[in-house]
Structure 1
């Protein structure tokens, strides 16, 4: 466990964590960006895939808690050929701007390097400039863009890649 201010970061997945992360993604992205229910369903399917294929040697979740409340989350999911995928990175609005994004990104980078991943990638949308800035700060580069209606509204999905 690590601490940032009064926020603890744990890596053990407990009952209720994945469902709560799915719920918060649906609520936050619905309220802030007008994403539809299909986005929440997409997150749920991905979290199910993560848990179903979870290998503690290759995969990791970082769960930020303030007291007993989850206030942030990110995971690294193993893919083929030494590739890691960064997924489901979010913070509660009141916990943004505290440096937690940098902390989780550094934990992601350290774990990926320790596990000898050769490549990492993530998918995001064009609505998140603060996240794009953070990804670029850690060496990710925009490599692909595609129009999408998969989240209940027209937007542009973006892929960022990093070679270690």
Structure 2
């Protein structure tokens, strides 16, 4: 699919619509099961985090970027207000849309909003298996700051925290 479309074919909106939270939860559960063999505990974690985001949402300090092609969500990222810090969460690009520059575009939008809001730091959590994502984060200045062994998502892995000083 990526060969027949370009980044200009994808629209990005910055608001949630009915169905988005459920679909983003589903998408994470599906893709992370297929690609990393994560269990239902991961999907529950995503659902709880998205519910928390929605409950504490304000336009001035939080943001979503929902990437769509022909009405279908193909990418997602959010910035969650954590006081002085912004948390990057739920960054995903579906397989048929990888390699188009969509991930970089979403990160550019994240960084612009981060600066616009005056956050002093940003952070994210990922796992050791997501090496391409970690490489992208590092290209924006995020640095690995913490690692911990975990079985929280149904298998043994190393959770990693990346921090950015703005």
TM-score norm. by structure 1 comes to 0.97
Aligned counterpart, 2:111: 109
Work out the CA distance in 2 between the residues paired with 1:119 and 1:55: 19
Question: What are structure 2's unaligned runs of at least 5 residues?
Answer: 1-5
The superposition leaves residues 78-124 of structure 1 with CA deviations (integer Å, 9 ceiling, x where unpaired) of 002x1100000001100111101111111001001000000000000
The superposition leaves residues 109-152 of structure 1 with CA deviations (integer Å, 9 ceiling, x where unpaired) of 10010000000000000011110110000000000000000110
Aligned counterpart, 1:84: 86
Aligned counterpart, 2:150: 148
| Runs of 4+, deviation exceeding 2 Å | none
Work out the CA distance in 1 between the residues paired with 2:41 and 2:95: 22
Question: What are structure 1's unaligned runs of at least 5 residues?
Answer: none
TM-score norm. by structure 2 comes to 0.95
Which structure has greater helix proportion? 2
Matched, 1:59 2:54: no
CA RMSD across the alignment: 0.9
Aligned counterpart, 2:76: 73
The superposition leaves residues 46-95 of structure 1 with CA deviations (integer Å, 9 ceiling, x where unpaired) of 00000000011000000000011000000000002x11000000011001
